[in-house]
Amino acid sequence: MFENKIDEAPLWCVVPLVITASISVLLFFYPQPFLKLASLAVQTIMGG
């Protein structure tokens, strides 16, 4: 059925994976901006 028809994924299928992985690694080593943004959002929602 799929005789020798294995190809690489198209570039536009790989780009989102690379972006997501890069952001994950960045947030692992440098989470402070994300935590600051999350605390500001909680303060805004809770009215504090």
Q: What is the pLDDT of residue 41?
A: 94
Rounded Cα distance, 9 and 17, in Å: 11
Contacts of 48 (CB under 8 A, 6+ apart): 42
In a domain, 1, yes or no: no
The answer to the question of residue 39 being in a domain is yes
Residue 35, domain extent: 11-46
The answer to the question of residue 31 being in a domain is yes
pLDDT higher than 70, residue 48: no
Residue 2 lies in a domain: no
Listing DSSP states for 1-48 in one string gives --TT---PPPHHHHHHHHHHHHHHHHHHH--HHHHHHHHHHHHHHHT-
- For residue 25, being part of any structural domain is answered with yes
CA distance 4 to 1: 9
Q: Is 19 within a domain?
A: yes
* Residue 17 domain-assigned (yes or no): yes
The per-residue pLDDT for 26 is 95
- The tens digit of pLDDT for each residue in 13-31 reads 999 999 999 999 999 999 9
Structural domains counted in the chain: 1
